[in-house]
Structure 1
Amino acid sequence: MRPVVVLDKIMDTADRLFYGQGFNLTGINQIIEEAGISKPSLYNHFKSKNDLLLAYMDQLYAKWFADLDTYSANFESPLEKVIALFDYRINRQITSGYKGCAWNKIVNEVATSELGVFERASKFKNDLRIRIVNLVGQLNRPIDKLLNDEELVEVIFSELESGVLMSHITKSNDSLENAKNIVRKLV
């Protein structure tokens, strides 16, 4: 086992604090204190709090999709993998205490001039949509289907996003469960 290094301490602390209490409410001094590091150690890795935020977002992206891949690895059919997207989000909400979508939280806290933040959030959302596009393209749907593939992708994506938002607001997964059932019926 490798020893915990300063960068790991910083990133673990930033992950916990940025997601748990928000970017704007998290100060550099709090990160330094809770990570148990010195100020020069933090600034050896990051020039600013915004640079730390961008690194956090890059790490979040990689971990989110890696965890999704692990979660859905045992599902074989495209429909099972679509449903697994909802179950994965449900599990994330439960384990986070219904804190909502980290990406939405971040973009709601920063100025619109923070282009790096918005580019990363957009990449995450677009890559999630691409996953849905690929899965929908693999579904063996009837010719006389109610929605074309593009419309179905939009419904699945929208139901995932709104389900997570409502889960955060209501502290319940009812919306995600309902969305999952709607998608099953539409497919």
Structure 2
Amino acid sequence: MPLDDDTARARLLDTAEDLFYARGVQAVGMDEIRGGSGVSLKRLYALYPAKEQLVEAYLRRRDLRWRGSLTEFATAVEDPRDRIAAVFDWLGTWFREPGFRGCAWINGYGELGATSAVVARLAREHKRAFADLVADLVADAGLPDALAPQLFLLAEGAMVSAAILDDPRQADHARAAAAALVAAS
């Protein structure tokens, strides 16, 4: 029985996400995505006529899941100030996941940002949304607005450092620095 479009898209995106995140977009060919997903090449190109469209769909879906998971985790914490620390706790859990390779948007921007306006735009949208989330947490905690970009930079630095150094403790270091900034506010 042929796959319906939603199932085929889900299989393609699952495979693309695994491969793109693990190896990079340019290192993965459409034929490899076809093989890993079990979706025919004809169907793949019917759903995603260009690789850039598949990359865009992958980044958009990952963004929704990433921000949704982080928001759910942080807002489950009762004390608004502790929600800020929860961001770094969530990052630490993510950094410890098997196959962690850093931020998909930083990686994508580094790989394709100079040549793909779509990837550059999606990376900027993701980072702005994350910065807005941090700013909302800062505002909810009644802290000065100026603290938000500082905490955002700590989180971003932790992401890059954890990936490059292969050291999930970067989240713990960033959490301690964030706590000092919050206490000084």
Q: Note whether the superposition's TM-score is higher than 0.5.
A: yes
Matches within 5 A, 1:1-187: 5-141=7-143, 148-150=144-146, 152-187=147-182
The more displaced of 132-141 and 177-186 is 132-141
Q: Distance in 1 between matches of 2:124 and 2:99?
A: 25
What one-letter code is carried by the residue in structure 2 that aligns with 1:182? A
One-letter code aligned to 2:152: F
**Aligned to 2:114, what secondary structure does the other structure show?**
coil
| Superimposed CA distance per residue, residues 93-131 of structure 1 (whole angstroms, 9 cap, x where no aligned partner) | 111433111110001111524212111111110011111
Give the CA deviation at 1:41.
0.9
Specify the code of the residue in structure 2 equivalent to 1:177.
D
> Aligned partner of 2:41: which letter?
K
Q: Distance in 2 between matches of 1:95 and 1:45?
A: 31
Contact 2:113 2:120 in 1 (8 A): no
For residues 111 and 137 of structure 1, what CA distance do their matches in structure 2 show? 32
Q: Following TM superposition, by how much is the alpha carbon of 1:155 offset from its aligned partner in structure 2, in angstroms?
A: 1.6
Scaled by the length of structure 2, the TM-score of the pair is 0.89
Q: Supply the AA of the counterpart residue of 2:74.
A: S
Aligned CA distance change for structure 1 residues 37 and 140 (closer, same or farther; 3 Å): closer
4+ aligned runs moved over 6 Å, structure 1 = none
Identity of counterpart residues, as a percentage? Answer: 24
Q: Offset at 1:70? A: 2.7
Cα distance, 1:185 vs. partner? 1.5
TM-score, normalised to structure 1, is: 0.88
SS state of the match for residue 96, structure 2? helix
